[in-house]
Structure 1
Amino acid sequence: MRIARFTTGDDPRYAVVEEGSDDLVVLSGDPLYSPLEPTGQRVPLDSARLLAPVIPRSKVIGIGRNYAEHAAELGNEVPAEPIVFLKPNTAVVGPDDPVVPPPYTSHLEHEAELAVVISRICKDVPVERAKDVILGYTAANDMTARDVQRSDVTWTRGKAWDSSCPLGPYLVMDLDVSDLQVRCWVDDELRQDGSTAQMIVGVPELVAYVSRIFTLLPGDVILTGTPAGVGRVEPGQRVTVEIEGIGAFSNPVMRR
């Protein structure tokens, strides 16, 4: 099942995206906090603007170097344990929203990633219970100021700036994420073409690992790492991320 968060000029609403239909079936509330109850209203998809499918109430948790070839392309070893960093919810934008890098960077890079959306408050989740706390999955672009990430002791300035975490186009429930194609284009150039099967640490293990560090809240997002092929993006270019079973979305990059 695919869930959209959208607007037609009014407050954001949620809807089910039916297979084989061009309509959004509007829901009565936020799927994080209410049952999936249709209101009876239908909105043509082409008359709606898709928004980020979730705005975390708390945090976005990033995982670094979770694909061996990506670690190698940046000259790094595969870490013994997952590298964890945080992005604030102000980093999240949706499809077609501009990515605006901060003035302190001159080297911006894309990172296409599978994102996991948490369904409820949880802590110390066993690996075998991880699926019980997952609401669904979406696609993400972990935009990174690579020059600053390399120069700073922490990754905060390089990873956590406003608009650095585009999400979209849908939240997909009940998806087998063990082997999904992950691709990224800059304009018409295919840059990344990998699979979630290449992850060093899988989704259940990541959920369990980060839940041992801090409490996860409904709507928290876990970015699961990026495959090889990351590269530079310049203002004026457009970045498109596509994950099999979820869909594709894109964002323009621009300077203020």
Structure 2
Amino acid sequence: MKYLRYKKDGDVCFGVLEDDRVTKLDGNYIEGTAEKTSVTLGLEEATILPPVDAGQVIGIGLNYALHAEEQGKPLPDEPMMFMVSPSSVIGEGEEIVLPTLDHRIDYEAELAIVIGKEAKDLSRENALSYVFGYTCGNDVSDRHLQKKDGQYTRAKSYATFKPLGPVIETELNPNDVGISLTLNGETKQESRTSDLIHTVEDVLMEITAVMTLKPGDVILTGTPSGVGPLSPGDQVEVEIEGIGKLTNHVQK
């Protein structure tokens, strides 16, 4: 099932996408209380929002071997986690704003996990039962600040640096789907989540050993090789098999 948030006539609404039409729900799907209404509309009739209003956004770094190689860094023995400000999240069609043109600011296609219920100290066996679904993410990153700071929070937390969406897919095998990114129509990243160093279950297990996750929290699982810089006017599209395509432009 594909779920999404949208704005219509000034109201924030929740819906389910079926055959390119949205059926409005009477509540928030993350809270588990939403049921279908009789109201339907086309995607072009509404403004698509990020599919979740995340309380926490957690990133996982260097989780594909070839990406670690291109960054010149060793493979991590365990998931390398960092925090990102949820104020950096934007949705489908919104503009990515580069705060400076003096730094290299890269795109990063990522599978994003959306948590469905409170989770702490998960096991590998039960981890996926705490997931609501999965969405497309673009982990935009300021490489100059990553190197300068020696950690990732500032480099990845600028407003508009975390496009998510357009939908949350609840029926997906997260450990074996295709993931790709195109920049101005040219494929730059292409891989499968089966190449993850640390699986979705392992990521969930390790994060919840440290912190409690709440419904709506988002985890970015890492990016394949092929990352590169963004420039004003670029169109960047992240596509994940079974979920769909997330499209954003860089502000000119």
Verify same fold: TM over 0.5: yes
Alpha-carbon distance, 1:105 to partner: 5.3
Q: How does 1:134-213 map to 2 (within 5 A)?
A: 134-213=131-210
- Partner of 2:31, secondary structure, is coil
Aligned length: 252
Q: 1:105–1:148: 8 Å Cα contact kept in structure 2?
A: no
Task: Work out whether 1:35 is the aligned partner of 2:30.
Answer: no
Task: Work out whether 1:13 is the aligned partner of 2:13.
Answer: yes
**In structure 2, C-alpha distance between the alignment counterparts of 1:87 and 1:156, rounded to whole Å:** 5
Alpha-carbon distance, 1:103 to partner: 3.3
Task: Work out whether 1:77 is the aligned partner of 2:74.
Answer: yes
Q: 2:105–2:140: 8 Å Cα contact kept in structure 1?
A: yes
TM-score between the two structures when normalised by the length of structure 1:
0.95
Alpha-carbon distance, 1:191 to partner: 0.3
Percent of residue pairs bearing the same amino acid type: 38
Q: 1:105–1:145: 8 Å Cα contact kept in structure 2?
A: no
| Backbone CA RMSD of aligned residues | 1.3
Q: Show CA shifts across 1:184-229 (max 9, x none).
A: 0111111001110000000011011100111101100010000111
Alpha-carbon distance, 1:172 to partner: 0.6
- Partner of 1:127, secondary structure, is coil
- Decide which moves more: 114-123 or 5-14: 5-14
The residue aligned with 1:48 is: 46
**In structure 1, C-alpha distance between the alignment counterparts of 2:20 and 2:30, rounded to whole Å:** 24
1:103 maps to which of 100, 104, 111: 100
- Equivalent position amino acid for 2:20 in 1: D
- In structure 2, runs of 5+ residues without a counterpart are none
Mark the CA change 1:218 to 1:104 in structure 2 (over 3 Å): closer, same or farther: farther
**In structure 1, C-alpha distance between the alignment counterparts of 2:150 and 2:99, rounded to whole Å:** 18
* Large movers: runs of 4+ above 4 Å: none
- Equivalent position amino acid for 1:53 in 2: P
- Equivalent position amino acid for 1:47 in 2: E
- Equivalent position amino acid for 1:27 in 2: L
Q: 2:85–2:153: 8 Å Cα contact kept in structure 1?
A: no
Q: 2:112–2:218: 8 Å Cα contact kept in structure 1?
A: yes
- Partner of 1:208, secondary structure, is helix
Alpha-carbon distance, 1:136 to partner: 0.4
